[in-house]
Every structure is written in structure tokens, then in C-alpha cells.
């Protein structure tokens, strides 16, 4: 997301000719979009995206179990 927001910001600065970005080549201005595509391709290929999604899902599941145990008056095995 960092590369995407950086690219959008640079593109707007270039379009409205603000600051030093107005003098840069469009190749430099649009390069963060290429880096974002590279990052997403790497993350999908290596399984990074899926692993992070599974970690979030496991955390939600554990939080739900902990809330249910507290509601029943059972002490949680895991302390926050």
C-alpha cells in the first residue's frame, strides 16, 4: 500500500506541477506503481498474503474462544 499511495501522491504532484516533482520524468513518477505490482506478485507467489490472512483468522478464532470462556467463568489459558 505504501508504494501505491506514494505513486498516487507523486502522480498528483507531477500533474499539478508542484515542487521538484514537476521536473522529474514520468518514468520516475510512475515507478512506485511498478514496485507495488512487484511486491504483490512476490507476496502472492511466496504465500505471504495467505499466511497473513490465516494468522488474522486464527487470532479472531482465539479471541472468540477467550470471550466465550470468560462469559462462562472459565479462566483463559492465554493471558493478555
Q: What are the grid coordinates assigned to 47, written together?
A: 504465500
Q: Measure the CA angle with vertex 17, ends 15 and 20; round to 5°.
A: 120
CA atoms within a 13 Å half-sphere pointing along the CA-CB vector of 6:
12
- Is-above-0.85 flag for pTM? no
Between CA 31 and CA 11 the distance in angstroms is 10
Q: What is the pLDDT of residues 5-32, one digit of tens each?
A: 999 999 999 999 999 999 999 999 999 9
pLDDT band at 77 (very low <50, low <70, confident <90, very high): low
The one-character DSSP state at 17 is: T
Summarised one tens digit per residue, pLDDT across range 53-69 is: 999 999 999 999 999 99
Supply the pLDDT for residue 80.
53
Q: What is the pLDDT of residue 4?
A: 96
Asked if the model's pLDDT at residue 78 lies above 90, the reply is no
C-alpha cell at 59: 487470532
Cell of 18: 508542484
Residue 75: the pLDDT is 77
Grid coordinates standing for 64? Answer: 472468540
Amino acid at each position: 500500500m505504501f508504494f501505491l499511495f506514494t505513486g498516487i501522491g507523486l502522480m498528483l504532484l507531477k500533474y499539478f506541477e508542484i515542487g521538484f516533482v514537476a521536473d522529474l520524468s514520468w518514468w520516475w513518477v510512475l515507478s512506485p506503481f511498478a514496485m507495488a505490482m512487484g511486491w504483490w506478485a512476490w507476496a502472492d507467489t511466496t504465500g505471504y498474503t495467505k499466511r497473513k490472512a490465516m494468522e488474522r483468522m486464527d487470532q479472531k478464532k482465539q479471541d472468540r474462544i477467550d470471550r466465550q470462556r470468560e462469559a462462562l467463568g472459565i479462566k483463559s489459558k492465554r493471558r493478555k
